[in-house]
Amino acid sequence: MSGPHQPRRLGRSIAALLAGFVVVVVLSIGTDVLLRAVGLFPQSEQTMSNPLFLLATAYRTIYGVAGSYITARMAPYRPMLHALVGGAIGLALSIVGAVVTWNKPDLGPHWYPLALAVLAMPQSWLGGKLLEMQLYTRPEP
């Protein structure tokens, strides 16, 4: 695909991916800070329990769906593709996170970064699917 509109579309694609990523990061870090402030999560130097890591996995998954929805919504074309590309980036980052933290048990259990990696693509697909359902659902006459 080439032509005078390609750079603008590429820029819009990148902006859509960045917007979804920023939403996920801001919401995730914001929730972490809030849960520490209210005393549900321990302070940063302390390891969390498995149930708290499960809670973090749950809200990060919800935020991943929301971020993918935003990416798809902002995409200049092929919203599902954009959501899945965002998911692939999230998958790659999750794998890097798992590798970097693997031999550091004080940073949490092994299952946590693996769960984030396993959930990256399904949550991205769901975010894209929610937009498709919204866009392609016709109201009844």
pLDDT per residue as tens digits for the range 60-79: 999 999 999 999 999 999 99
Contacts of 117 (CB under 8 A, 6+ apart): 91, 94, 95, 98
pTM of the model: 0.88
Q: Is 63 exposed, middle or buried (0-12, 13-18, 19+ CB in 10 A)?
A: buried
pLDDT per residue as tens digits for the range 15-64: 999 999 999 999 999 999 999 999 999 987 788 999 999 999 999 999 99
Do the Cβ atoms of 120 and 87 come closer than 8 Å? Answer: yes
pLDDT of residue 141: 63
